[in-house]
Structure 1
Amino acid sequence: MLTSKLCHLLSPLLLVGGTIAGTINAANNAPDNAPVVHLRNGSFYGNYNPAYNQDIFFSMPYAQPPLKDLRFDVPQSLNATWIGYRNATQIGDSCLGYTGSPRKLASSEDCLTMTVVRPAGNFSEPLPVALWIHGGGWNYGSSAEGLFNGSFLVDRSVQMGTPVIVASFNYRLAGWGWLWSPEVVEKGLTNVGLRDQRLAMHWIKENIASFGGDASRVTIFGESAGSFSVGKHLLAYGGRDDSLFSGAIGQSGAPTGIGPWEVSHERLSLATYNLTQTVCPNATAKLDCLRKADLETLDKAMEASMALPGPSVVYGPVIDGDILTMKPAEQMRQGKIVNVPFILGSNTDEASYYTPTAINTELELLDAITTRFGCNTSQALRIMDHYAFSDPENAVQGVKNFQLNSTTGLLYKRANSIGSDLIFKASTHLTAQLWSKQGRDNIYIYNANTTLSKGPVYYGSAHGYELAYTFYNLNGTGWEGNEAPFSGGNPFDDRPQPYFELADVMSGMWIGFINTRKPHYANQSVIEWPAYTVERPTIMNFDAQPTYLNTGLSQESRVSGMKLMISLGLWEY
């Protein structure tokens, strides 16, 4: 098995575009038997992992470090070359993020790196590539988190006889990647975290062939904010196709956005104002002052700037008239979105650990919908009318209303269903409808009933729970900890065979899609997954029960409730 360090996922390497302006020191020779790669700017040596027969290249820079005058700037392509070999055997720093808890991974501003995991050996043709974008609300997270370990997915692909390369990268988070002020807009420094992601894709396009990858077969995939980011790149520059990817997978986050949790210019402006007033209250040139501020002061002020009232995300992508040009739903209605095969879906009980417990009355439910999920009172009351307590669809998988108590909340399931639809499922439905109405037959919609062996039963299949299945992470690497979504260890502990079969199916379909742009693999044990169309709105329901695999075709749940939410204009920001 991988060591704890090798069980972390990817980072970046060299450079994209730009001129060669300097030199970097490097070793004259690579260690004996170390895998090496020769890129545009120079060469790297990495690790060979005999347990999986893989080559892993950690934390290769894909951009210049965003330090000093480049702090808060758009990412700059590498402009240096070297002779010899640079070391890519250690995980580098993650980008600075904020969860309210002490950081578990080494973090710094010098974090714009890429990791590549490839099967060892020579192959007769270039391999397809899966490029992972991590989540974390654009405010925390890292490609180095163990639950995103690309080795398991690569190993599964080799077992299937359809090998792939998996790469992932870090991008700037919170205010490091998303500020908004008149000065920021005037200088074209909006959405720099999203631009980091874009530059990483350019780096893959220019360099992945040196790893044995096929630059014409790159699938971008992500979960949560990573999935919403996938949607932003489908919409970027008015839906312009820059041939950076030929397929996309979105897990719990649709291009049409987060509804009432969407990042707003107002909240982003306020957070930026609070940050600058704390660090540079008297400065005229605020950005210059922030760039000169010491890291410790700025880091503390950045975390404090996120303490805004309300449930929506503070820092993240917003329309800026450049990389993001218009409202997502309206842009999709105009067909201005990159046309590539697209897997998109969510989990049955997405809002489980966002939903307050002890909701026992209609008034408490109303309060939760307004204060936790971001609706106004009028919207909340109309939504409540469509989500009746007695409706069997308002259920957490395997949990009945009579099993709930006043501590969990007699209305917990109902609140969870409303929150799941508001933040994740209604936007998936809207995206599927708008995509199909453009005459496209290449979007595949799913629901995942991917429960874990750890955590409260009433969580059901919560946000992020599918990751253990899609990454084929059967030994629970990275799932240690007691904060949601982690529940204290391997999510497959003491699980009967059908849950492992579900991991086979989900990872197999993901790998099949990465290879062929169809969610299919040889000798699969479940029915074929058809594209979603307005005329045939069929989805794949991924599910396992203790005694049998229960995966098959289905219809969307709670469609009338989601249509109501959409009619309320929650995705017309």
Structure 2
Amino acid sequence: MTNAPEYPVAQTRYGPIRGLKKKASTGVSYYNFQRIPYCKPPVGERRFKDLELPEPWTEPLDCSQQGPSGYQYSKLLNKIIGSEDHLYINVYTKQLNPTKPLPVLLWIHGGAFMRGSSGTEMYAPDYLIQKDVVLVSFNYRIGAFGFLSLDSKELGIPGNAGLKDQNLAIRWVRDNVANFGGDPANITLFGESAGGCSVHYHMLSNQSSGLFQRAIVISGCALNNWSIVPRRNMAERLAKAIGWDGAGGEAGALKVLMGAPAEDIIKHQDLLLTANELENRILFAFGPVIEPYVTERTFIPKSPLEMCRAAWSNDLDILIGGNSDEGLFCLNGIKENPSIMDNLKDFEYLVPLELELVRTSQACKEYGLKLKRFYYGDTEPSFENRNGYLTLMTDKLFWHGLHRTIYGRIASSKPAKTYVYRFAVDSDTYNHYRIYFCDRNVRGTAHADDLSYIFKNAFSPVPVNDTFEYRTMMTMVELFTNFASTGNPNGGIAGDIWIPVGGSLGPYNCLNITNDGLSYVELPERQRMELWDSMYRKEQLY
């Protein structure tokens, strides 16, 4: 990038943009384009609605600085942050005019569909941009703004606006990434947690068919129990919390919500779940839903399991995996409220809701007892022996959904490759999320701990050469960029041991990523997955 312009100008279909030349902490120079509009702002009458492409412009738009996040409550800052006008895309590239178009890595951030953003505080490009790829990230609507769902077709808000935002962003990348040196015919969609779940939904929804060529699903998928929110009257509950008197039905509730300050929506959206819903481990009020009626933009028309069986993406190669101790993220809640453990007596509430069992039925009680015996033996749950609960949450909330997705891919009998991995790196410094959720004295690899080895963030220093943290970072970068480039994650420092799963259903191997490096082993969670499998009928499992 010798003599490259300090403020490069690139073209998009909608108008020119001006970026900024930057140098990564790894020493690599790259072009930084941020806050690029990919759709019309979701403000005013467009709040909650499906959006359209942006209006064109003629003069270069300043895209050198980061845009805001969506409205959300920040636990770290203990205040509401963000803006409704936040639907922007970011592009990071070393070459605007490479001799050969570069593979594209398109990131979808996580945050339980209720928070998060694509900001460089958490997702700086420094590590991935070392390789010859174009990295893209973007914001989408979250919480009630992105997932409000109304039954009335006349009101035009069937739900999943946040996923439809993502679809528009992916289309923008396909149509514009060539102007940033990227190959529109070689796009790898990747995401973590709700972002991984989103990636999986794009693999299932016909709305996204053909928009990308590969996928990386990290610690979240459409078969996790939190991936779909049961249809309930959340719009009315939210409107009543803000002050609606109940007049006018859904239309009356929507009128109140359309006129409410964004801060009021954020203040109340996390407080809508009933005691019974919380007891049934429903995690949040707003998220993906099966849409109540069909339109030309319907994204989720039926259950995720039904969509999996006929997914257009069964022909795509994917990487899929998670962290060894995902459930550690629950520890902070247990520490703040130890009675959660002391009151954990009725394990039938941990039996999967998709089994459609009555909680008081004999079958449900037997499954609950099976879970208790497996994770606790003859002991009773308490704060002191909380590890059984944290392991159970690892499996219930994350690994079993991933496992079912893997089984479904195998059962599809398609030739596409499915590479399974398990991340179990334990660092005193770089496992940022474990330190945040728990403390430095807790060991293990918590939900989202892998992100510090994929993206530079504001909370972890850049790893030092000749440490296992540095080797892990370089290995993760190599695995992901190899896969994005060729469809094969093997090669270079990543070695050549990772074999995709396939053949018959049963035990399968994974790439195990630890402090000591890489090994190809049978999935260590196998027996736990078999326990959960035993509660499902075959037609419920995959």
TM-score range, shorter chain: 0.7 to 0.9
Change (3 A) 1:32 1:227: closer
Aligned residue number for residue 307 of structure 2: 331
Is the 8 Å Cα contact of residues 417 and 501 (structure 2) preserved in structure 1? yes
Paired letter, 1:428? L
Which residue of the other structure, out of 371, 387, 391, is the alignment partner of 1:413?
387
Which residue of the other structure, out of 477, 485, 502, is the alignment partner of 1:507?
477
CA distance in 2, matches of 1:36, 1:428: 42
Aligned residue number for residue 281 of structure 1: 245
Aligned residue number for residue 448 of structure 2: 464
Change (3 A) 1:457 1:432: farther
Which residue of the other structure, out of 196, 199, 206, is the alignment partner of 2:165?
196
Aligned residue number for residue 225 of structure 1: 194
What TM-score do the two structures reach when normalised by structure 2?
0.83
Aligned residue number for residue 291 of structure 1: 258
CA distance in 2, matches of 1:213, 1:525: 24
Residues 432-452 of structure 1, C-alpha deviation per residue, up to 9 Å, x if partnerless?
111011123411111110223
The answer to whether the aligner puts 1:449 opposite 2:437 as a matched pair is no
* Residue 335 of structure 1: how far off its partner (Å): 5.2
Residues 191-245 of structure 1, C-alpha deviation per residue, up to 9 Å, x if partnerless?
10110111110111111111111111111100100001111111113xx663211
* Residue 557 of structure 1: how far off its partner (Å): 2.4
Which residue of the other structure, out of 83, 89, 95, is the alignment partner of 1:114?
89
Aligned residue number for residue 373 of structure 2: 385
Which residue of the other structure, out of 327, 331, 343, is the alignment partner of 2:319?
343
CA distance in 2, matches of 1:35, 1:74: 32
**More displaced, 122-131 or 110-119?**
122-131
Q: Percent of aligned pairs with the same residue? A: 25
Change (3 A) 1:91 1:212: same
Aligned residue number for residue 219 of structure 2: 252
Residues 345-398 of structure 1, C-alpha deviation per residue, up to 9 Å, x if partnerless?
0110000121436999998484496678977672332122334659xxxxxxxx
Change (3 A) 1:561 1:414: same
What TM-score do the two structures reach when normalised by structure 1?
0.78
The answer to whether the aligner puts 1:72 opposite 2:52 as a matched pair is no
CA distance in 2, matches of 1:235, 1:171: 19
Change (3 A) 1:290 1:516: same
Residues 533-554 of structure 1, C-alpha deviation per residue, up to 9 Å, x if partnerless?
144722100111xxxx331101
Change (3 A) 1:67 1:221: same
Is the 8 Å Cα contact of residues 349 and 459 (structure 1) preserved in structure 2? no
Q: Which runs of 5+ in 1 are unaligned?
A: 1-30, 158-162, 391-400, 480-488
Is the 8 Å Cα contact of residues 451 and 462 (structure 1) preserved in structure 2? no
Paired letter, 1:64? K
CA distance in 1, matches of 2:258, 2:449: 39
CA distance in 1, matches of 2:477, 2:109: 17
CA distance in 2, matches of 1:125, 1:496: 33
SS at match of 2:235: helix
**More displaced, 454-463 or 209-218?**
454-463
Aligned residue number for residue 20 of structure 2: 47
1:261-280 mapped onto 2 (5 Å cutoff): 261-266=226-231, 269-279=232-242, 280=244
CA distance in 2, matches of 1:526, 1:222: 24
Is the 8 Å Cα contact of residues 359 and 408 (structure 1) preserved in structure 2? no
The answer to whether the aligner puts 1:214 opposite 2:186 as a matched pair is no
CA distance in 1, matches of 2:147, 2:56: 30
CA distance in 1, matches of 2:260, 2:116: 24
Residues 496-525 of structure 1, C-alpha deviation per residue, up to 9 Å, x if partnerless?
72332122212111010111111123x325
CA distance in 2, matches of 1:382, 1:359: 26
Aligned residue number for residue 498 of structure 1: 468
Residues 119-163 of structure 1, C-alpha deviation per residue, up to 9 Å, x if partnerless?
0464111111111100000000010142211232112x1xxxxx0
1:6-45 mapped onto 2 (5 Å cutoff): 33-45=6-18
Paired letter, 2:458? G
Aligned residue number for residue 487 of structure 2: 517
CA distance in 1, matches of 2:274, 2:337: 25
SS at match of 1:108: coil
* Residue 325 of structure 1: how far off its partner (Å): 2.2
**More displaced, 172-181 or 366-375?**
366-375
Change (3 A) 1:470 1:567: same
Change (3 A) 1:231 1:458: same
**More displaced, 526-535 or 63-72?**
526-535
Aligned residue number for residue 432 of structure 2: none
Paired letter, 2:370? R
Q: Which runs of 5+ in 2 are unaligned?
A: 354-358, 430-434
CA distance in 1, matches of 2:123, 2:85: 21
1:388-399 mapped onto 2 (5 Å cutoff): none
The answer to whether the aligner puts 1:558 opposite 2:535 as a matched pair is no
Number of equivalenced pairs: 496
CA distance in 2, matches of 1:81, 1:224: 34
CA distance in 2, matches of 1:118, 1:46: 11
Is the 8 Å Cα contact of residues 93 and 105 (structure 1) preserved in structure 2? no
Is the 8 Å Cα contact of residues 236 and 323 (structure 1) preserved in structure 2? yes
CA distance in 1, matches of 2:376, 2:263: 50
Paired letter, 2:484? I
Paired letter, 2:21? Y
CA distance in 1, matches of 2:30, 2:340: 55
Change (3 A) 1:324 1:528: same
SS at match of 2:103: strand
CA distance in 2, matches of 1:185, 1:453: 54
The answer to whether the aligner puts 1:426 opposite 2:400 as a matched pair is yes
Is the 8 Å Cα contact of residues 190 and 199 (structure 2) preserved in structure 1? yes
Is the 8 Å Cα contact of residues 314 and 409 (structure 2) preserved in structure 1? no
SS at match of 1:199: helix
CA distance in 2, matches of 1:567, 1:109: 45
CA distance in 2, matches of 1:217, 1:255: 24
* Residue 556 of structure 1: how far off its partner (Å): 1.4
Is the 8 Å Cα contact of residues 69 and 139 (structure 2) preserved in structure 1? yes
CA distance in 1, matches of 2:517, 2:383: 28
Which residue of the other structure, out of 315, 322, 325, is the alignment partner of 2:286?
315
CA distance in 1, matches of 2:176, 2:96: 18
Aligned residue number for residue 393 of structure 1: none
Aligned residue number for residue 62 of structure 1: 38
Change (3 A) 1:262 1:242: closer
CA distance in 2, matches of 1:99, 1:292: 23
CA distance in 2, matches of 1:345, 1:449: 11
Aligned residue number for residue 107 of structure 2: 132
Which residue of the other structure, out of 170, 173, 177, is the alignment partner of 2:146?
177
SS at match of 2:152: helix
Is the 8 Å Cα contact of residues 335 and 438 (structure 1) preserved in structure 2? no
Residues 239-288 of structure 1, C-alpha deviation per residue, up to 9 Å, x if partnerless?
x66321101001101232x22x344324xx34322112233335522323
* Residue 76 of structure 1: how far off its partner (Å): 1.6
Change (3 A) 1:32 1:461: closer
Aligned residue number for residue 478 of structure 1: 458
SS at match of 2:326: coil
